[in-house]
Amino acid sequence: MATTVKKVNRSVDLTLWEKMYIPEILRGMSITLKHFAVNLLGNALEVFGGRRERKIQTLYYPEELPNVPIAYRGRPVLVADENGLEKCVACGLCEVACPANCISIIGAERGDGERYPVSYILDGSRCIFCGLCEEACPKEAIVMSGEWQDICEYDRAKMIYTKEDLLRSEKSLKKRIKVLREKYFNKGRY
């Protein structure tokens, strides 16, 4: 991805007006005040049924939630297939790859010989959202979701996620999985 580099020209000579300092401070404060007034008025208009012109980037959380970019690494979650079963085959690669040692898996075999995790525990209080579990997984069975809200707790015990807590439908994660395929598969990583 191309990165735009902005250079600050530090060799600009300040005018006498700018060197006086106070006028520039006042100018900065007037800009802040202008934004304050515009947003206050915008909210007041909305209360009276008018249309609020959004001039600010802040959100009315939790009523409004941001659309996080698809590359965002939120809570790691397990992918469920169309039958609601985990795609995980309990190979343990994510467990080994995790630098925070927050994944514990107990695997077993189903009647048809397919391996699956009887237990998949992820300690969210230790997770550093590095995404290495996602990179290590050969089955696209664990991915970094866009979930960032409600991941903090006062009680660390509430941050221990079980397989059932982590399962999400493949459909709901398809954008992230598409990005992963472009990022890793198309570059010959696997």
- Min separation Cβ 123 and ligand SF4, Å: 8
> Applying CB under 6 A, does 159 fall inside the site for ligand SF4?
no
Element containing residue 161 per DSSP (H, E)? strand 160-161
- Min separation Cβ 102 and ligand SF4, Å: 5
**Binding characters for ligand SF4, 85-104, by CB under 6 A (x = yes):** ---xxxxxxx--xx-x-xx-
| 190/188 Cα distance (integer angstroms) | 5
Q: Could you tell me if 99 and 54 are in contact, meaning their C-beta atoms sit under 8 angstroms apart?
A: no
> Residue 76: is the preceding peptide bond cis (ω within 30°)?
no
CA-based nearest residue to 143, from 88, 68, 83, 61:
88
Sole window of 63-71, 139-147, 155-163, 177-185 interacting with ligand SF4 (rule: CB under 6 A): 139-147
**Residues in binding contact with ligand SF4, number by CB under 6 A:** 27
Q: Give 111: exposed, middle or buried? Use CB within 10 Å, 0-12, 13-18, 19+.
A: exposed
CA-based nearest residue to 95, from 63, 125, 66, 117:
117
Give phi and psi for 96, each to the nearest 5.
-75, -40
> Applying CB under 6 A, does 180 fall inside the site for ligand SF4?
no
> Applying CB under 6 A, does 166 fall inside the site for ligand SF4?
no
Beta carbons within 8 Å of 121's beta carbon, 6+ residues apart? 103, 104, 105, 160, 161, 162, 163
- Min separation Cβ 62 and ligand SF4, Å: 24
For ligand SF4, give the closer residue by CB, 44 or 85. Answer: 85
- Min separation Cβ 107 and ligand SF4, Å: 7
- Min separation Cβ 144 and ligand SF4, Å: 6
For ligand SF4, give the closer residue by CB, 41 or 177. Answer: 177
> Applying CB under 6 A, does 173 fall inside the site for ligand SF4?
no
Site for ligand SF4, rule CB under 6 A: 76, 88-94, 97-98, 100, 102-103, 105, 122, 127-133, 136-137, 139, 141-142
